[in-house]
């Protein structure tokens, strides 16, 4: 327990001094403020222009745009930070030879792995959490009633980025950390992205062929897939409504974008445990 | 009971490769200084890494304080200063020692007492820079400092003076002498034969993974000769002569 706490504590201290993470955080937080203030200024311009020629722009609609952009920003910066932590937290100790001194001390490889994972999780949650708090504060500029929507989205973002971090962490104990990041990107962001999209076509009955549906269903559960909040679907419905169309017409698009269910959340938990176990297995086998 | 007992140790890094360590056997008692010598690639570092539990032998057994090197309780009595030591690069020397003191399970009071003294011994007490700005010599001094932090009963020093200046080397020699007197067993792995001759009681000379010669210093080095003579004699026949310079060296002088 002492070993785990020491490894976690000093890994966190190291992570807090890594400039790349600081840069990602600063760019992310400046981006969020910039998005919010920019949209608010645009809204004020539309509001003050009686001949604007736009549909009536409501606070709600502008806030929806902000939520939509924030989703992308949080997802992108969360991923960058996850890659940053995953590529450095264990790899540099193993690559530099620091592990030689650490492993000769009375600390088990299990305690070391748990400490590293805990530090990575804590760093990621804190950084993405701070960005989310900032986004929530910026939303006060709008007052459109979607303030709570960001919470669910943040949870999904944190959950997804944790999986990415663990995949990179596990791969970086086997291979060069840049190669590990590329492999993780192809695995998680490309392959599973395609699988998730295909699966959403199945669940919304856009693919009707029985064999194709079965194959996609099986493949979907063989890969980790990102959790999605109910926000994308709500955004589509709200945007369609704000555009003056009937809520019914948003049905197919909203169905494709439906949020993750309990099965997806259970699968996410399994994937987390699986990749944490891979991290431990790799560290245990590693000869330094 | 021997502090460390190594029996018929064998290790190879890839199937089909020659053995990096091939049937090494020795024992080390408390208060004894044992020198492990040999040319580059002889297998010395592989042996000490197996004793420290960092790599696993393919064949043979190691008993460290009567236990397996994988046992953290056994490693708590071990201090290991690796060759070319490195540390988490964004931490400072005092933080590294605090980190390692936590891994050793030292309490707050003990950490406060030992860390400043150890830093002073290593000449790093005034150092505030992060490890990434350290020279090789500074890292080597920190490597020795972290190895003695837990007051080990067995101290393994793998090329401990390679990057040190003459004063640093003198300090390490004095450290070894003092620890020996207090009953600490020392396993010294070094190319600096004159140093080994000064501080070690027993030596083993390795070549291509095997122990070629072993015994007390008196047994290995006959009177009137020194360790370097014995070492060179042992390996001269097997190694190609390198007394001819590359041809381009003389070209500039003949112009």
ipTM of the complex: 0.90
- Between positions 81 and 140 of B, the ones with CB within 8 A of A are 82, 84-91, 95, 99-100, 102-105, 130
With CB atoms and an 8 Å threshold, state whether B85 touches A10: no
Round to whole Å and give the CA distance between B230 and B35.
14
Whether pLDDT at A246 is above 60: no
Shortest CA distance from B80: residue in chain A = A104
Rounded to a whole number, what is the distance in Å from the CA of B32 to chain A's nearest CA? Answer: 21
Q: pLDDT class for A204, splitting at 50, 70, 90? A: confident
Q: Is B161 helix (H, G, I), strand (E, B) or coil?
A: coil
Contact indicator for A227, A202 with CB cutoff of 8 Å: no
**CA-wise closest residue to B175 among B203, B143, B204, B207:** B143
- Does position A62 have pLDDT exceeding 90, yes or no? no
CA distances from A91 to A101, A116, A279 (A): 15, 11, 11
* pLDDT given for residue A255 in this prediction: 54
CA–CA distances in Å: residue A82 to residues A90, A192, A226, B68:
13, 17, 14, 37
Q: Which chain B residue shows the shortest CA-CA distance from A288?
A: B54
**B11 contacts B58 by C-beta, under 8 angstroms:** yes
Interval B129-150 mean pLDDT: 94
Q: What value does the mean pLDDT take over residues A3-16?
A: 96
Using the predicted structure, report yes or no on whether residue A248 has a pLDDT greater than 60: no
Query: Stretch A43-72: mean pLDDT, rounded?
Result: 69
Is residue A273 over pLDDT 70? Answer: yes
- The partner residue sitting opposite B75, judged by closest CB among A92, A100, A105, is A105
The confidence band for A38, taking pLDDT boundaries of 50, 70 and 90, is confident
Q: Going by DSSP bridges, is the β-strand pair B4-11/B59-64 parallel, antiparallel, or unpaired?
A: antiparallel
Beta B33-37 vs B202-207: how paired, if at all?
parallel
Q: What is the pLDDT of residue A138?
A: 84
Going by pLDDT thresholds of 50, 70 and 90, the confidence category of residue A196 is confident
What is the Cα–Cα distance from A265 to B172, expressed in whole angstroms? 57
User: Chain B within 8 Å of A112 (Cβ-Cβ)?
Assistant: no
For residue A275, the model assigns a pLDDT of 95
A97 in contact with chain B, both atoms CB, cutoff 8 A: yes
String of DSSP letters for B217-229:
HHHHS-TT--HHH
Q: Helices A109-138 and A262-285 sit at what angle, rounded to 10 degrees? A: 140
The pLDDT value given to residue B154:
96
Between A248 and A164, name the one with better pLDDT.
A164
CA torsion B109-B113-B118-B119 (nearest 10°) is 90
Q: Average pLDDT, stretch A155-166?
A: 93
Mean pLDDT of B135-161: 94
Q: Does B57 touch chain A (CB under 8 A)?
A: no
pLDDT level of residue B246 (50, 70, 90 thresholds): confident
What confidence score (pLDDT) does residue A68 get?
79
Tens-place pLDDT, residues B68-101: 999 999 999 999 999 989 999 999 999 999 999 9
Cβ distance A105 to B104 less than 8 Å, yes or no, reads yes
CB contacts of B54 in chain A (<8 Å) are 100, 103-104, 287-288
Please answer yes or no on whether A287 and B54 come within 8 Å at the CB atom: yes
pLDDT of residue A63: 73
Left (φ > 0), alpha (ψ -120 to 50) or beta: where does A143 sit? left
- CA dist., res. A166 & res. A119, Å (int): 12
Say which residue, B176 or A255, is predicted with more confidence. Answer: B176
Task: Give the C-alpha separation, A60 to A79, whole Å.
Answer: 28
What's the whole-number mean pLDDT along residues A136-155? Answer: 76
Q: How long, in residues, is chain A?
A: 288
B140–chain A nearest CA distance, Å? 12
What's the rounded mean pLDDT across residues A181-208? 87
B72 closest CB neighbour out of A7, A102, A107: A107
Between A and B, how many CB-CB pairs are < 8 A? 92
User: Nearest-CA distance from A84 to chain B in Å?
Assistant: 15
pLDDT given for residue A150 in this prediction: 75
B191 three-class SS: coil
- Please give the residue that has the higher pLDDT: either B233 or B252: B233
CB B169 within 8 A of CB B161: yes
On the question of pLDDT at A245 being above 80, the answer is no
């Amino acid at each position: 327990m002492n070993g785990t706490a020491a490894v976690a504590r000093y890994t966190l201290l190291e992570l807090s001094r890594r400039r790349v993470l600081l840069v990602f955080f600063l760019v992310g937080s400046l981006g969020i403020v910039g998005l919010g203030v920019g949209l608010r200024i645009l809204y004020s311009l539309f509001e003050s222009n009686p001949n604007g020629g736009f549909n009536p722009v409501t606070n709600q609609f502008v806030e929806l745009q902000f939520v939509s952009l924030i989703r992308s920003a949080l997802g992108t910066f969360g991923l960058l930070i996850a890659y940053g932590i995953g590529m450095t937290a264990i790899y540099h100790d193993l690559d530099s030879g620091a592990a030689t001194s650490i492993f000769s001390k009375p600390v088990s490889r299990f305690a070391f792995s748990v400490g590293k994972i805990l530090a990575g999780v804590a760093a990621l949650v804190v950084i993405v959490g701070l960005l989310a708090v900032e986004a929530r504060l910026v939303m006060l500029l709008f007052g459109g009633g979607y303030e709570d929507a960001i919470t669910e989205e943040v949870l999904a973002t944190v959950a997804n980025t944790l999986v990415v971090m663990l995949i990179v962490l596990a791969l970086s104990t086997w291979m060069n950390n840049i190669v590990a990041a590329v492999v993780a990107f192809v695995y998680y962001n490309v392959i599973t992205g395609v699988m998730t999209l295909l699966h959403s076509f199945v669940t919304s009955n856009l693919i009707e062929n029985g064999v194709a549906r079965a194959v996609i269903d099986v493949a979907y559960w063989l890969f980790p897939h990102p959790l999605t909040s109910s926000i994308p679907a709500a955004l589509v419905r709200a945007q369609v409504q704000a555009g003056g169309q009937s809520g019914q017409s948003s049905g197919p698009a909203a169905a494709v974008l439906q949020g993750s269910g309990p099965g997806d959340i259970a699968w996410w938990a399994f994937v987390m445990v699986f990749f944490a176990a891979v991290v431990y297995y790799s560290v245990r086998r590693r000869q330094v | 009971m021997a502090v460390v007992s190594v029996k018929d140790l064998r290790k190879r890094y890839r199937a089909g490769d020659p053995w990096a360590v091939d049937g090494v056997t020795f024992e080390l008692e408390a208060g004894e200084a044992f020198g492990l010598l040999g040319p580059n690639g002889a297998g010395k570092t592989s042996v000490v890494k197996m004793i420290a539990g960092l790599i696993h032998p393919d064949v043979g057994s190691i008993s460290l304080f009567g236990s397996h090197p994988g046992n953290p309780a056994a490693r708590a009595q071990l201090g290991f200063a690796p060759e070319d030591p490195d540390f988490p690069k964004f931490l400072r020397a005092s933080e590294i020692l605090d980190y390692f003191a936590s891994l050793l399970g030292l309490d707050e009071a003990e950490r406060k007492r030992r860390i400043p003294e150890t830093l002073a011994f290593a000449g790093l007490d005034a150092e505030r820079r992060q490890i990434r700005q350290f020279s090789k010599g500074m890292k080597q001094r920190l490597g020795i400092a972290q190895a003695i932090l837990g007051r080990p009963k067995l101290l393994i020093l793998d090329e401990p003076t390679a990057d040190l200046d003459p004063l640093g080397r003198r300090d390490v020699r004095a450290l070894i002498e003092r620890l020996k007197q207090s009953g600490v067993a020392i396993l010294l792995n070094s190319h600096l034969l004159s140093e080994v001759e000064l501080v070690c009681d027993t030596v083993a000379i390795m070549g291509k993974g095997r122990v070629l010669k072993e015994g007390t210093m008196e047994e290995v080095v006959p009177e009137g000769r020194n360790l370097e003579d014995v070492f060179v004699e042992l390996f001269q026949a097997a190694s190609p002569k390198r007394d001819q310079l590359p041809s381009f060296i003389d070209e500039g002088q003949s112009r």
